[in-house]
């Protein structure tokens, strides 16, 4: 038993919404928070729309969809998390922002609550040190689209207790996920392998080795990847991809992690991928 009856999810973007939906589908109450009450409301509306799509495809009963939605309450501010047993932070990949959030979460969450970060590459030890309960802080890294992807990386910081890790492993299993433990080293397992591959695809495109469509077709047809690297980078968000490459480069200090200049240019242009309608591919129609 994991003993979590109420979980707060901080951040109602694509990861936060996916996490909230997966937890609610497991019958656990979720409080969904974002920088403004409107953003949290909009997050719930997007979850609802996706579930209705599942109902239309006869993959979900209407009452199941209603039940999942009823388990999620958008909350107006962080103060509303005081009754939660666990808080999962899924904000942008920005260390300063996460440190500030964890200081606040430590202040508002009840003393015995666990605090988890969905960070894709930042140090759990550093994030935990912003709180007075580093033994209760852990990494819980989900994959996009969260309701579909089975993996959760569970990352212990230096001070994370055994009981915290055990409870998070049990919760991951209760959500229908397969947890894999990683030590607290930049990028953990998946992003340390995946992001350099996506970054390399950007170098190939910039060097004119092949077109974006052909780079993606090559990896789909030649390696049986469900999406090509450039479409996957668009799907993850090019700003997130750049932020992860910057952490890998800074923390691991090797030239092989240098972000591709083309990736930087796209982010500078505001072409962030699917979420802005344009990245390596166009999503406007």
Residue 23 near ligand 3HC by CB under 6 A? no
141 is catalytic: yes
For residue 4, CA distances in Å to 7, 49, 70, 83 come to 7, 27, 17, 11
Nearest distance from residue 90's CB to ligand 3HC, in Å? 10
* Residue with nearest beta carbon to ligand 3HC: 120
207 is catalytic: no
Residue number with CB closer to ligand 3HC (225 or 264): 225
The answer to whether the beta carbons of residues 115 and 106 sit under 8 Å apart is: yes
Residue 275 near ligand 3HC by CB under 6 A? no
CA distance linking residue 128 with residue 108, whole number of Å: 15
CA distance linking residue 278 with residue 104, whole number of Å: 34
120 is catalytic: yes
The catalytic position among 71, 172, 191, 199 is 191
Residue number with CB closer to ligand 3HC (134 or 229): 229
Residue 120 near ligand 3HC by CB under 6 A? yes
Sequence-separated (6 or more) residues with CB below 8 Å from residue 162: none
Applying the rule CB under 6 A, the residues between 151 and 180 that interact with ligand 3HC are none
CA distance linking residue 245 with residue 233, whole number of Å: 12
153 is catalytic: yes
Residue 226 near ligand 3HC by CB under 6 A? yes
CA distance linking residue 276 with residue 282, whole number of Å: 9
Q: Which residue of 49, 57, 58, 96 would you call a contact of ligand 3HC, by CB under 6 A? A: 57
Residue 58 near ligand 3HC by CB under 6 A? no
For residue 90, CA distances in Å to 97, 249, 267 come to 11, 22, 20
Is 172 exposed, middle or buried (CB count within 10 Å of its CB: 0-12, 13-18, 19+)? buried
Residue number with CB closer to ligand 3HC (102 or 143): 143
CA distance linking residue 45 with residue 6, whole number of Å: 20
Residue 191 near ligand 3HC by CB under 6 A? yes
Q: Which residue of 144, 220, 249, 276 would you call a contact of ligand 3HC, by CB under 6 A? A: 144
Q: Which residues bind ligand 3HC (CB under 6 A)?
A: 18, 50, 57, 59, 120, 143-145, 147-149, 191, 194, 226-227, 232, 236, 240
- Give catalytic residue positions: 120, 141, 153, 191
């Amino acid at each position: 038993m994991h003993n979590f009856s109420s979980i707060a999810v901080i951040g109602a973007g694509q990861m936060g919404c996916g996490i909230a939906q997966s937890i609610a589908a497991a019958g656990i109450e979720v409080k969904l928070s974002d920088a403004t009450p409107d953003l949290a409301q909009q997050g719930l509306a997007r979850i609802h729309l996706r579930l209705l799509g599942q109902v239309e495809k006869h993959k979900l009963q209407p009452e199941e969809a209603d039940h999942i939605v009823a388990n999620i309450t958008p909350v107006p501010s962080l103060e509303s998390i005081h009754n939660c047993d666990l808080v999962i932070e899924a904000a942008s990949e920005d260390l300063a922002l996460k440190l500030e959030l964890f200081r606040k979460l430590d202040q508002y969450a009840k003393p015995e609550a666990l605090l988890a970060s969905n960070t894709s590459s930042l140090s759990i030890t550093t994030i935990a040190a912003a709180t007075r309960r580093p033994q209760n802080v852990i990494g819980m890294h989900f994959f996009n689209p969260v309701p579909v992807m089975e993996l959760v990386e569970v990352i212990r910081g230096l001070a994370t207790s055994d009981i915290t890790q055990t409870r998070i492993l049990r919760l991951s299993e209760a959500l229908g996920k397969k947890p894999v433990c990683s030590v607290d080293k930049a990028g953990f397992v998946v992003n340390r392998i995946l992001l350099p591959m996506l970054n390399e695809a950007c170098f190939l495109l910039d060097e004119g080795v092949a077109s974006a469509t052909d780079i993606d077709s090559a990896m789909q047809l030649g390696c049986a990847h469900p999406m090509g690297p450039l479409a996957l980078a668009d799907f993850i968000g090019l700003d997130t991809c750049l932020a992860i490459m910057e952490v890998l480069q800074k923390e691991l200090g090797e030239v092989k992690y240098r972000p591709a200049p083309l990736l930087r240019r796209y982010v500078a242009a505001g072409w962030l991928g699917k979420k802005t309608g344009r990245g390596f591919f166009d999503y406007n129609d």
